[in-house]
Amino acid sequence: METITDITVLDQLLVVNLDTHIWSASRKLLPEDLGNTELPPDELASLGSKKICNPEEMNIFKALKARAESLLRQNGIRFLSGWAVPQEKMEDIDSSLVAIRDDFNTAKENFLQRYENTVREWIDSHPAWSGIIANSIVSEDYVRSRLAFRWQVFRVLSPEISEHTRDDLVDDVINLGATLYEEIAKTATETWKNCYEGKTEVTRKALSPLKSMYEKLMGLTFVEPRVSSIASIISTALSSIPKRGPITGARLLMLQGLVSLLRNPQEIVKHGQKILDGQTSGDVLSALSGMGTSTEIVEESPGVGEPVLPDVPELPQLPALVSCGLW
């Protein structure tokens, strides 16, 4: 069953390229750093690097980069050098990126104010190698130039080519739907491992990644006809969960069946087509849970208004993987 995205979808997409640079806190290890030690020839081996500052100081910058990538992953699809995101969501995405950039720049200034003391503490903690570190210290201005959080937004225009010609860009656009389903499958696999595998009871935190997948799909319904169908299945599942208490029994089996379905791109396409062919979301979910009928599942009309979602907690911005309270 083919998944083909029309080239005209570019009219509704913008591409965000995340341009983030994080200092390695290291310099190249030189032969003179090792004294009279005999080294193998260059064609056999090369020297590595030496840390001139505690590399853990860079963790805050790595975390902020991961937060930005998570934001783009939740709203868009990997495309070209960045992420293809719905044009209508760009204002909100841009506001979130500005907030992350501000946090990045604040952390950058805080680190630069402590830079000399941090290097001195690093040298003191490695007295046997103090000479190697001290001889490789770089200036504060150098470090400043190696820490940056930027992004670019651009639009890709539909190329004017003959029907007999296809280039890599056209192929990338044609495969956008398939890429979207692969990304949903990856998220669902992480969700299964972190939230549902082997469980006989889950809390409402386990609904959060499903809500995130639903919102991503709803923002990209124009990419491929079956996207809205899959979103309607998730919406119906979320709407059928009681607002309080643990999730067990048939409803947990339904959620486990849904997440299992979403782990497989081929199954996503197959069940999305079933909705297009007239099957209801409730029937699909009933089959997944073994309930037999959809009488206990509240059916939502796909594509009509906003589905009624339960009070699901927002996905945490960090870490990228949802913990579901497990760590």
Q: Identify the band that residue 119 occupies on the pLDDT scale cut at 50, 70 and 90.
A: very high
Average pLDDT over the chain reads: 86
Determine the pLDDT at residue 321.
40
Tokens of 64: 């902020």
Q: So what's the pLDDT on residue 307?
A: 46
Residues in the chain: 327
pLDDT score of 171: 86
Residue 4 is predicted with a pLDDT of 83
pTM: 0.82
pLDDT beyond 90 at 288: no
Q: Which residue shows structure tokens 């643990």?
A: 246
